[in-house]
Structure 1
Amino acid sequence: MNQIFKSVLSQSFILSLLTLAAANQSNAQNITIPIETSHQALVLQADENKNLKNIYLGKKLADPKEYDFIKSRYKQTEDYSGLLNSAYTPSGSRNLMEPAISVIHADGNMSLDLRYISHKTIRLNDNVSLLTVLLKDPVYNFEVTLYYKSYHKEDVIEQWNVIRHHEKGNVTLQKFASANLNLQAQSFWLKQFHGDWAKEMQPEESKLTHGIKTLDTKLGTRANLFMPSVFMVSLDKPATEDEGNVLYGALEWSGNFKIDFEVDFQDNLRIIAGMNNYASPYILKPGEEFTTPAFLFTLSDKGKGEASRKLQNWARNYKLLDGKGNRLTLLNNWEATYFDFNEQKLSGLLKDTKKLGVDLFLLDDGWFGNKHPRNDDHAGLGDWQENRRKLPNGITSLVKEAGADGVKFGIWIEPEMVNPKSDLYTKHPDWVIKQPDREEHYFRNQLVLDLSNPKVQDFVYGIVDSLFIKAPSLAYIKWDCNAVIYNAYSAHLKNNQSQFYIDYVHGLYKVLERIRAKYPVVPMMLCSGGGGRVDYGALKYFTEFWPSDNTDPVERIFIQWDYSYFYPAIASSNHVTDWGKQPVKFRTDVAMMGKLGFDIVVSELKENDLKFCQDAVSTYNTLKNVIWQGDQYRLVNPHEQNMASLMYVDSTKSTAVMFNYLVNYRYGESSKTPIRLKGLDPAKKYRIQEINIYPGTKSPVQSEKLFSGDFLMNIGFNPEVNTTRTSVILKITADLSKAANTL
C-alpha cells in the first residue's frame, strides 16, 4: 500500500513540475512591457503568437513581475479574435470590433495583421522616458512603430504612431488612430463637453453603454467650435473632485478628430482616438512615413482634482510655450472702439494703458486694408497693409509711441482667412478653399486660405515676419481664426483631395514652426473666435488662449471652471469687459483667475472704479505667480451650488489665493457654511486677508487671527459671500514666526 502511495505521490509531483515548467515556458513566450510613471502603469504584452496587447491600465503595482498575473485573474467570456485588447487594433483580419488602423494595400487587399517584432526604451532625462514598439505584418511589407512617452512625476503618457511601408506601390490609409486604450471596470462614466460661439465647454456626463459613443468634429479648422477633443472617463462610478478613479484624455491636434468609446461584449471599454478619417483616405508612398498626432492621458485614483493638477503641471513643464515664464497684462481696444478708430484715439488708449498700470496695449481688428478698408467684417481680410486713413504713420509709429509712454504694443491678425472683398481674393483665387463651380458659403463673411499650399504658407508666415521687420519691438500677437471650412477643395492638391484636411493642419504647423524658429519668445494668443482651437498641438506654439468671446463674468466663471480641468491658469486669457451687469470689482475678480487683461474704456471709468482697477493690477502682480504656477483646488462647484470657490497654492504651501463668487442672486443666498480649503500644510498657521476691496468698503474678514492648516482643511473658512458681497478674494499666508508656531 505504501509502495502504491509513493508511486502516486511521485507521479503527482512529476506532473506538478511539468505543469510548472509549461507555465514558465508559456510565460517565457510572453513579453511584458510595463510603462510606469510615479503612480500609474500602462502594461503591454506580446503573447506567444506575437500579438501585442494592453493587459493593464491603472495604478502602478509595487512588484512589476506581478503584472504577468493580471490576465489570469479575469474570467470573462471568450475573446474569439484574440484582439479585443489589442494595443493597436488592425482591421480586415481577425478583428471583430472597431479598428485603430485600416489600410488598402498596393495590391488592393484590405487585411492587416500587426505582430510584435521588438521594443526599446530610451531614458530622455531623469523624468521622461520613450518606449518604441515595432509591429509588422507577416505577409505585407508594412509596419507601425508605437511610441509611448512617459512623464514620471506628472503621471502623464503621450502616445503616437509612425506608419510606413515598402510595398510595390501606394498604400491607402483608411484609418490611423493615435491611441488604442483598454480599460476594465464594473461601469464607465464619460464626461464630455460641447458648445457653440459664446457657449464653450458645456459639460455633460453619462454612463457608457454597449456599442460605440463617438466624439468628433468635421469642421476642418476652428475644430473645437462645437466639441473639444478633451474628456474624462470615471471607472465604476462618477468621480468627484477628491474621490474616484478617473482618466483624462486629450488629442494634440488642431483639425478634425475622432474619439470612439466602445464597451465590448466582455464589458470592457476600448478608447480609440486620433485624427478623424472622415473624407480623409491618405495615400502613403513606399518609404514615406505617416506620423499621427500625440494623444495624452493621465490617471488618478483620488478624483478629478488630482488629475487636473497632474495635467496642468505637465503642461507648464513640457507643452505650453514658456509655461514657466512671464505673461503680459494688457488693455485691448476692441470693445472700446471696435472698427472705429484712428491714430488720435489710439494715442489716448496708449496713455490709458499706462494709467491703468498694465504692461501692453493690444490693437485689435480693423487696422488694415485700403482698396477694401477693414471698417467691418465684410472686407479687407488678406490685405495686410496699414489703412492709410486710420494709420497714416503706420504700425511702426504706434509701437514707438507706446514705448515712449512706457508700455509695450501688440497687434491682432487673422492670417489664415480672406474676405471675398479683398485684393488677395482677386489676385489669388487658387489660394482660397472653395469648390469649383459651386456657390460660395461664408462663415463670418469670409473664407479660409489653403495652407496645404506652400505658397500660402509663405504668405501667412510673411504677414507675421513683415510686422516684426517693420517694428522689431512689437511685443505680442493675437492670432485669430474665425471661420470653419465649407466646400473643402484645394486647387494645389489637384487629385489628392482626400488628404486636404490633414495637409491643412500640417501646413499651419509648418508656418508656426517657422515663426517660432525666428521669434521664439514673443507672446502669442490663440484666439479662434473664443475656444474654437484650443488643444496641446497648438499650444506648444502659443503662450495663452482665449476661452470665449463671452466675457459676461458669471458665464465666464462656468467656462473657466470647465477649462481648468485640462488647462493651467497661466494659459487662460481673461479680460475685464462691459459684458454683464456686475460691478467692475466682480468682473475684475473673475478675470484674475488666469492671465488678466482689460477690454474697457478706461477714460469713462468712475473715479473709484479706476482706482479699484489700478489697485487690483498692483495686487495681481504680487500674486500672479501663485495663480499661474500654483496647485489649483476646486472647492465649491457652481454647477452644483449657488457659489463658486477655488484656490491656488504655491509649491511651499506658504501662500494661497482663494476666489469666491455668488452665481445665484436669489433672496438670502449666501455662503452659509464654512468652505473647506485644500492643499495647505496642516501644521502651519495661516493668516487670512481679504484683497481687492472696493474703495470705501470694509471687509468683515479679521486678518489678525491665525488658523492652522488642519483647521482650515477640516472645518474651513467662511468668506461671507452674499448678495451685497458677491465676489470675495482671500490671500492666505503662512505665519512663520515663532509665536505662531507655539499657539
Structure 2
Amino acid sequence: MTRPPARPATGRAPSPAPGSSWLLRTERTVYAVRLEAGGQWAELAAWGPHGTETGPSALDWSRRTHFLTPADAAPAEYIPSGLRPFTGADLTVRRPDGERGTWWTCTGAEQDGERSLRLEFTDERTGLRATLCYDTVPGTDVVLRRTELANDGDEVLHLEDLDSAAVNVPVQGGARLTYLAGQWSQEFTRHQLDLVRGRFAIGSIQGVPGHAYAPWLAVQDAAHPDSADTPTYGVALAWPGNWHITADAEPGGAVRVRAGRVPHEGAVALRPGATLTTPVLACAFSAGGLDGLGAEWHRYERHLAGERLHRPRKVLYNSWYATEFDVEATGQLELAAIAAEMGVELFVVDDGWFTGRKDEKGGLGDWQPDPAAFPGGTDGAAGLDALIARVRELGMDFGLWVEPEAISPAAQLYADHPDWVYRIDGRPATLVREQLLLDLGRADVQEFVIATLDRLLTAHDIRYLKWDMNRPPTERGRPGAIPPGELDLDAAHVAGYLRVLDHLRARHPHVTVEGCAGGGARIEHATLARTDVVWPSDNTAPLDRLAVQYGYLHAHAPHTMSSWVTDEPGVFDPRPRSLAFRFVLAAAGVLGIGADIRGWSAEQRAEAAGWVARYKDVRDVVHHGRARLIGGPDDATCAVQYDAPDGRRVVVAAWSTGRLDGAPLTPGRPARVRLRGLDPAARYTDHDTGTVYSGAHLLHSGLPLGWSAGHDAELVVLTMQ
C-alpha cells in the first residue's frame, strides 16, 4: 500500500497521487481504501479477512456507464451531491445563492501505521474542507468512521445532508439485510429481508433512536445468508438523536449503506471558520455469520466499558411494579428486607419518591424527597437517609430513579422557568405522559440538571441511578434564539445529554448508571459508552421478553442488558411460564427482580434465592464470555451459550417455547441443543448432575433438555475437565 509522505511544517499533508491506496488492519480483518484515478473521491478496495487486499478488488467494475456518471457507480467512501448527482450522495451543501453542488479533490492524506487514516478533500469554490477519519479499535475487528466538515470560506454553508460515512458491501445476487425493529414493549425484534434492487431505509426523528428501529444493520450475501461461515458486515451509528440508515442496491449489483444524523431543522448552518464532526459510525466484519458479527459487537462494547467492565453488575430489586407511585418508607423497607433474604445486592426506589409525585401529572423537575413518604424531618432528606441507612444495614446498596429531562406543568420548576421547555410561540404544547421536555441543549438547563444530580448523589449515599426518558420532543423550538436560522436543536440536546453523563462519570465514578427511555428508545454506542447497563424494554413478560433479548443480543453485549423477573403477564404472547423461566431469562443479561415479592410464597422466595445464588456464580462468564445464540424464540427450544474467555466453563441458558414431546405417555425424546465452538476432544462435566460429555457429543448430538409442563427452562453449567 502507498504510504504518504510526512506532513509538512505548514500542518497540511501534501496531496496524494491519484490511485494511492491505504490499508487499515484490525485483529483479523483488513480495510483497504484507494483514491480514484482523478483524485476526486476515495473508494473501498477491500474489506474482509487478512489477505483480502491481495488480488483484484471485489468491487471493481467495467467503468462503463449509461445515463450515469462514474461517481454514481463507484464504491465511494464519502462523496458530495455535485460529484454523485443521481444514486445517492452523502453530503449536500447549500450556498447562500441556493447552489447545492460540491466538487472537491483530495488535498491531503495522513496515516498512523495501519491503525488510523485521515483523507482530506477540498472544494476551492465554497471553501468546504472534508476530512474522512478512520480508526481501528484494539482487540476488535471494528473500524470507526466519521467525517469532519470545516468551512474555510467566507460565507455560511448549509449542510442539508451530512452522513457520517458510506459503507460498500460486495454481494452477488442481492443482499440479505438483518435489522432490529418493533414498537414500545416490542423493541429489538429481529427482521430480515432480501434487497435485490431499490432502497431500504430506517431511522427516527423523535429526538432519540426510538422504539421502532435500532441504529444497527447487518448485511450478507443473499445467496448464502444462513451459513455459519457467511461473510457478514455490520454498521452501528453512535448517535442518541435523530438518525437514518439507508441501504441501496446500486447499479452493478453492489450494496451501499449510508448512515448519519438527521437535523431537526432540515439543515445545519456551518459558519466561516467553524468545524462540524459527524457521529461515529462503527463498521464491523465477521467471517462467522450473524453469530460471529454479534461477538464482534460484544467485544467492542466491552472495549467501550473500559475498566468499568470489571465491576460486577449487582443483582437489583426495583420497587416500581410493587408500589408504583405509592412510595413510602415502611413499604419500601418491607420490600428491601425480603429482597435481602433472596441475596439481592442493590435496592432501587423507582418513580414516586419526590414531592408532588402521586401520579403522572406532577413533580417532575422538583427533585426533593417527599417528607410525607420519608418522615423524620422537615424536607424529606433525613427520612430518605434513614431508609438508605436501613437498606445498607441489610447488606444492599441503594439506588434511585430520575427523569432529568422531563418537567411537569404543575411543578414549581415550570412556574419558575417556563422558557426552559421546548416550545413554539403561539402554538399549543402537546403533553405526552402528562409532561413536557426540557431543552437540554441550553447551558442553563444543563447546569440545573448537573446541580440536581450532584446534590442528590452528594447528600445521600446513592450508588445507582436509573436515568429514564418517557417522551420524545414535540413543538421543538427555542423562541428568541439568535440567529434562529442557525439552530441545531437535535445536536444541542445530544451534546447536553452526553455532557451530563460525562459529568456523572467524572464526578461520581462510584455510581452505576442505567440508561432507559420508555424502555429501549435510546440505546446506541454513545449512550453505552457512558452508562453501565441499559433497559431494553418495559415489557417483562416472559415470552415477549425472550424475543426482545434475542434481537438485542445480535447487536449488544450481555453485560449491558438489564433484565428483571416480574409477575407481568404476556402482552403479545400470554402463555404462562414458570418462575424458573423468568429467572433464567433475566440471568441471560444483568439480573434484576421487579415483582411484588410481598405476595410470593415462602417456596417462591426460596426458589428465587437459589436462582440469585446460581446467577452470581456464573455472571462473570455471562458478562465476559463469548455469547452464541442457538435457535430463536420461534423455535421449540431457544438457548444462549456463554463460553468463558479461557474456555474452561460453558454456561447454557435454555428455554422451552414449543409443544412437549408427550413423554411418558408416548416414546418421546428430550430436546437437544447442539452447542458450538467447543473442543471436540475435551470432556465437559455438568455441574448439577455430574454427567460427563465429550465436546464431540455436545457439538454433534447436543445437550439433552427434558422439558415438561413444570420444567420449561434450565441454566446448565459445564466445566472442562
TM-score w.r.t. structure 1 length?
0.88
1:568 aligns with 2:557: yes
Assess, with a 3 A threshold, how the Cα gap between structure 1 residues 614 and 647 changes in structure 2: closer, same or farther: same
* Residue 305 of structure 1, CA deviation: 0.7
Moved more, 521-530 or 541-550: 521-530
Tell me, yes or no, if the aligned pair for 1:477 and 1:523 is still in contact at 8 Å: yes
Moved more, 35-44 or 615-624: 35-44
Assess, with a 3 A threshold, how the Cα gap between structure 1 residues 71 and 358 changes in structure 2: closer, same or farther: closer
2:685 maps to amino acid: R
Assess, with a 3 A threshold, how the Cα gap between structure 1 residues 461 and 717 changes in structure 2: closer, same or farther: same
Tell me, yes or no, if the aligned pair for 1:430 and 1:492 is still in contact at 8 Å: no
Moved more, 104-113 or 252-261: 104-113
Secondary structure in 2 aligned to 1:50? Answer: coil
1:383 maps to amino acid: D
1:38 aligns with 2:36: no
2:616 to 621, 624, 643: 621
Tell me, yes or no, if the aligned pair for 2:175 and 2:219 is still in contact at 8 Å: yes
Match of 1:416 in 2: 405
2:479 to 471, 475, 491: 491
Tell me, yes or no, if the aligned pair for 1:89 and 1:95 is still in contact at 8 Å: no
Superposition map of 1:462-501 within 5 A: 462-471=451-460, 473-491=461-479, 493-494=481-482, 495-496=484-485, 498-501=487-490
1:676 to 652, 674, 677: 674
1:114 aligns with 2:130: no
Tell me, yes or no, if the aligned pair for 1:305 and 1:633 is still in contact at 8 Å: yes
Moved more, 241-250 or 403-412: 241-250
Match of 1:207 in 2: 194
Tell me, yes or no, if the aligned pair for 1:635 and 1:644 is still in contact at 8 Å: yes
Tell me, yes or no, if the aligned pair for 2:467 and 2:516 is still in contact at 8 Å: yes
Match of 1:92 in 2: 82
When the two chains are superposed, the root-mean-square deviation of aligned CA atoms in Å is 2.2
* Residue 181 of structure 1, CA deviation: 1.3
1:659 to 653, 656, 659: 653
1:712 aligns with 2:716: no
Q: Deviations over 1:35-54 (max 9, x none)?
A: 22233332211133212332
Q: Deviations over 1:32-75 (max 9, x none)?
A: 112222333322111332123323343235385x35x3279544
Secondary structure in 1 aligned to 2:555? Answer: coil
Q: Once the two structures are aligned, what percentage of the paired residues are identical?
A: 24
1:363 aligns with 2:357: no
* Residue 497 of structure 1, CA deviation: 6.5
2:375 to 392, 396, 399: 392
1:340 maps to amino acid: D
Match of 1:11 in 2: none
Match of 1:7 in 2: none
Find the aligned partners of 1:91 and 1:73 in 2 and give their Cα distance.
22
Find the aligned partners of 1:475 and 1:63 in 2 and give their Cα distance.
48
Assess, with a 3 A threshold, how the Cα gap between structure 1 residues 396 and 129 changes in structure 2: closer, same or farther: farther
Match of 2:299 in 1: 313
Moved more, 409-418 or 679-688: 679-688
1:163 aligns with 2:149: yes
1:70 aligns with 2:65: no
Secondary structure in 1 aligned to 2:527? Answer: coil
Assess, with a 3 A threshold, how the Cα gap between structure 1 residues 202 and 146 changes in structure 2: closer, same or farther: same
Tell me, yes or no, if the aligned pair for 2:637 and 2:671 is still in contact at 8 Å: no
* Residue 563 of structure 1, CA deviation: 0.2
* Residue 93 of structure 1, CA deviation: 4.1
Secondary structure in 1 aligned to 2:81? Answer: coil
1:429 to 418, 434, 437: 418
1:528 to 517, 526, 530: 517
1:677 maps to amino acid: L
Q: Deviations over 1:132-158 (max 9, x none)?
A: 111111433211111111125411111
2:363 to 380, 401, 405: 380
1:218 maps to amino acid: I
* Residue 569 of structure 1, CA deviation: 0.6
Tell me, yes or no, if the aligned pair for 1:643 and 1:662 is still in contact at 8 Å: yes
Find the aligned partners of 1:241 and 1:731 in 2 and give their Cα distance.
27
1:58 aligns with 2:47: yes
Find the aligned partners of 2:518 and 2:294 in 1 and give their Cα distance.
25
Secondary structure in 2 aligned to 1:561? Answer: helix
Secondary structure in 2 aligned to 1:353? Answer: helix
1:228 aligns with 2:223: no
Moved more, 491-500 or 566-575: 491-500
Q: How many residues align?
A: 685
Tell me, yes or no, if the aligned pair for 1:489 and 1:497 is still in contact at 8 Å: no
* Residue 189 of structure 1, CA deviation: 1.4
Moved more, 589-598 or 278-287: 278-287
Tell me, yes or no, if the aligned pair for 1:643 and 1:663 is still in contact at 8 Å: yes
Unaligned runs of 5+ in 2: 1-15, 570-575
Superposition map of 1:485-634 within 5 A: 485-491=473-479, 493-494=481-482, 495-496=484-485, 498-580=487-569, 581-634=576-629
Q: Deviations over 1:249-270 (max 9, x none)?
A: 1100001001111112222211
* Residue 405 of structure 1, CA deviation: 2.3
1:255 aligns with 2:207: no
Q: Deviations over 1:363-419 (max 9, x none)?
A: 1000112xxx10111111111111121123423222222222221100000010111
Match of 1:218 in 2: 205
1:440 aligns with 2:429: yes
Find the aligned partners of 1:135 and 1:610 in 2 and give their Cα distance.
64
* Residue 507 of structure 1, CA deviation: 1.6
Tell me, yes or no, if the aligned pair for 1:37 and 1:151 is still in contact at 8 Å: yes
Assess, with a 3 A threshold, how the Cα gap between structure 1 residues 93 and 635 changes in structure 2: closer, same or farther: closer
* Residue 318 of structure 1, CA deviation: 2.9
Match of 1:184 in 2: 170
Secondary structure in 2 aligned to 1:682? Answer: coil
Tell me, yes or no, if the aligned pair for 1:677 and 1:716 is still in contact at 8 Å: yes
